Structure 1
């Protein structure tokens, strides 16, 4: 077990080292841009995974909260004129408050009713952004969003500096999610996912804990949206469309729902495939659809879950073989 843990740490350290030095060893600006966007989407997928994967509640308003974070930052910096980092903090607070208000109503429902309700919420957010031209720019979008403000000697005016800034928030997100999942709070979320009725019988306040998971999910969606707005510096209503939520969901399902590495694996793989198959962009679901169906049938927990389950089965088989050998040796000793 310690050897496996050591191998995992070496692999994670190597991966982190690679993403840290990558901008220094390549001059491909387009690849760096795609990586930044991938980091941002991964943060949003982690928020979705915390609610859907660990608590068992699928929110179809996730793109709406992503857009809410993006537009709130844009309005606070451009229209109101606040400094970037103050607007950034207020964006996260505002998105979480809206998430709490919507969650208090949405979480009165369960299963597919919850998904339908959040689908309606997401569509309402889209309609508000699309039609409120005086505030959001409507179909024309919102332009002139400033890049992240400097922090002391650190400035974020270049693509490379934005790369490291977004990477910092991605690593921070992974660390926070890891700590949550391996805490009592995370076990509470999983208890609700496995059986909400059973969780109630052992004294868990399911309403409070579901609301916490929903707020955390919207917080990470708002964080990703704010980073997206400041990086692209232009946003349109399409980022709140339901297709964006389905993209997040596809990333999560392929990577591995309810796993820590799933959002990273799924997002990077699908984005890479999308880049390789750009000539099929209008028909991408013809490619991803069959892949998703095959994965759901043969690997319902995604790529990461499949690897975890395969390792567990391999260990169990190895232990069974060792126990059988021990029994045979003991039998030989007795007969001798």
Structure 2
């Protein structure tokens, strides 16, 4: 077991421990609420990262899928009276089915055509939510969404219990993402991202792999939407607005697209900065826009990618210096 691996493991354990004990040592209810929302956004960004970062297909419909998960849970629990956890599972299944149908059509396109198509899909979802008043509540929104049902002795009626529930699903998302990325399936996704034609020549079924990545991506968005609906207990059509998708994209690009830590880093940093600069909320893109442009120009892989590349360069430099010293010692001995 190498020392770098140990350091990484200790750092991750420390961050998880900090997240677990934070509500126990802090009485700031507002900060706990912001952290819950940050955890939920991070789950969405992980879904976006699986598709855009590891497969190379940028979806601009993720706010739509997020809203689809939220509204499906709301309709099933409030309108039809289905128990929360049954509705929760049905929501994920429904989101996956919708993702399958849309993905089968969308993935016939490539590059910017795929992005444009998904942008249109996201806007159509927004229009359906906004105008289907009898089902979604339209512009008035959807009220009275229940909190998550109890699991045995565990109840989720308080903000702190919701905090731990959402944290659990975030950790589960990260674990699932880690296992996907480091599996043969993940390597297939990366091969498609690097060169779809080359992936075909080595026997990878690009169509089925792209569709699988798209479905998983939408399920993550639907999962986050379900958690959001049960936490806020009120949802409106604005959660499906395209501006939400661009927020998710900003989190991913600044944190580091195509990296496992990027979604966490980007989401936490931008949400924290947004909280500190609330007086500039209407002009936030004037702040983040130039930062994003500079980041894309000078380091397209974001903060996490920059750190990874810097470590690789440092290790390479040390290795070359070690090799040079070794050669000099051989010359002296000869």
Fold shared per TM-score above 0.5: yes
1:172-221: CA deviation from partner (whole Å, max 9, x where unpaired): 00000000000000000000000001111111110000000000000000
Structure 2 residue aligned with 1:68 = 68
Structure 2 residue aligned with 1:195 = 195
The residue correspondences of 1:85-100 to structure 2 (distance < 5 A) are 85-100=85-100
User: Partners in 1 of 2:34 and 2:287 — Cα distance?
Assistant: 20
Structure 2 residue aligned with 1:28 = 28
* Shift of residue 299, structure 1, vs aligned partner: 1.3
* Shift of residue 112, structure 1, vs aligned partner: 0.3
1:93-114: CA deviation from partner (whole Å, max 9, x where unpaired): 0000000000000000000000
How many pairs are equivalent? 334
1:127-152: CA deviation from partner (whole Å, max 9, x where unpaired): 00000000000000001000000000
* Shift of residue 70, structure 1, vs aligned partner: 0.1
List runs of 5+ in structure 1 lacking aligned partners: none
Structure 2 residue aligned with 1:247 = 247
User: Partners in 2 of 1:289 and 1:151 — Cα distance?
Assistant: 44
Structure 1 residue aligned with 2:327 = 327
The residue correspondences of 1:1-12 to structure 2 (distance < 5 A) are 2-12=2-12
Structure 1 residue aligned with 2:103 = 103
* Shift of residue 293, structure 1, vs aligned partner: 1.0
Structure 2 residue aligned with 1:238 = 238
List runs of 5+ in structure 2 lacking aligned partners: none
User: Partners in 1 of 2:13 and 2:299 — Cα distance?
Assistant: 27
1:47-74: CA deviation from partner (whole Å, max 9, x where unpaired): 0000000000000001000000000000
The residue correspondences of 1:1-336 to structure 2 (distance < 5 A) are 2-334=2-334
1:246-284: CA deviation from partner (whole Å, max 9, x where unpaired): 000000000000000000000000000000000000000
* Shift of residue 285, structure 1, vs aligned partner: 0.4
* Shift of residue 116, structure 1, vs aligned partner: 0.4
User: Partners in 2 of 1:101 and 1:27 — Cα distance?
Assistant: 45
* Shift of residue 298, structure 1, vs aligned partner: 1.5
User: Partners in 1 of 2:178 and 2:267 — Cα distance?
Assistant: 18
| TM-score of the pair, normalised by structure 2 | 1.00
SS in 1 for 2:224: helix
User: Partners in 1 of 2:223 and 2:235 — Cα distance?
Assistant: 15
User: Partners in 1 of 2:11 and 2:203 — Cα distance?
Assistant: 40
User: Partners in 2 of 1:323 and 1:183 — Cα distance?
Assistant: 33
User: Partners in 1 of 2:93 and 2:51 — Cα distance?
Assistant: 19
* Shift of residue 297, structure 1, vs aligned partner: 1.4
* Shift of residue 294, structure 1, vs aligned partner: 1.3
SS in 2 for 1:64: helix
| TM-score of the pair, normalised by structure 1 | 0.99
User: Partners in 2 of 1:202 and 1:2 — Cα distance?
Assistant: 33
Structure 1 stretches of 4+ with a deviation exceeding 4 A read none
What is the aligned-residue RMSD (CA, Å)?
A: 0.6
User: Partners in 2 of 1:16 and 1:201 — Cα distance?
Assistant: 42
